[in-house]
Amino acid sequence: QELMRPERHIQLLDDFAEDQLAAILATYQEKYDQFIKLRNLNEKKHQNEKEWAQRVDMLKFQIKEIEAADLHENEDTDLAAERDRLNNFQKIHDALLASYEGINGDEDVSGSIDSIGTAMSSMQDIEDLDPEYKQISDNLSGAFFALQDVASQISDQLSNLEFDQDRLDQVEQRLSTIYQLKHKYGDSVSQILAYLAKIKQELKQMSGDAEANDDLDKQLAGIKKDLIKDAQKITLIRQQFAKKL
């Protein structure tokens, strides 16, 4: 009765040739299951290719835009401070000049350093008469030389102080560029640079995924080729045993 049912012929033949077919059938089934699994994965990935490609294009654009700005750590805060100094040039100049004249005096009024110098000289005349006088004299000397140092620093600042409208324009333009990037990628240059590092890593990963997709296609092709070879072997063995039945 089993022989009268065509759908059972293959199973009966395989049972008859079990010693020859068992191993290769098991291998074939294992490869087939792997092929189906990889094929489903491949189909799913290809369905998302458009979305994946759009993401890659966006990452490349963002990386190019940020790198073109050639940002440096803390550049935004440094430029903002420089802009404030340039915008407050007159205020800074007047404050430095007033401080310098307050210490050194001018043509009409003697400065505090002259007064302290006079007091220092007076105390030096009597410092040997009492330890407390000596302490006062030393304190006045310290104040005198400290004021000299401060006056020298202020003088250097005044000598180097200048207003540069071109530089102010450059700073404003640069800050505008940074502001536009902040609007898109972060609240500070540090955050923008951190975001740049993040998306570069993501793009690298996605490029690796693209290579993995190519490998998956090759892997599927290889398994399919093996399945065809195994199927041919199985068919040949079945044909050989069918002649014996």
> Could you report the per-residue pLDDT of 144-178, keeping only the tens digit for each?
999 999 999 999 999 999 899 999 999 999 999 99
Higher pLDDT, residue 233 or 180? 180
Region 222-234: mean pLDDT is 83
CB atoms within 10 A of CB 31: 16
The predicted-structure confidence for 20-71, as pLDDT tens digits, reads as follows 667 777 787 888 888 888 888 777 777 777 777 888 899 999 999 999 999 9
DSSP per-residue string spanning 50-115? HHHHHHHHHHHHHHHHHHHHT--TTHHHHHHHHHHHHHTHHHHHHHHHHHHHHHHB-SSSB-HHHH
The reported pLDDT for the residue numbered 227 is: 85
- DSSP-derived letter for residue 1 is -
- CA atoms of 138 and 124, how far apart (whole Å): 8
- The residues, ordered by sequence, that sit 6+ positions from 189 with a Cβ below 8 Å of its Cβ are 71, 72, 73, 74, 75, 76, 77, 178
Mean of pLDDT over the chain? 83
Say yes or no to pLDDT of 190 above 90.
Answer: yes
| pTM, two decimal places | 0.56
Residue type, 122: S
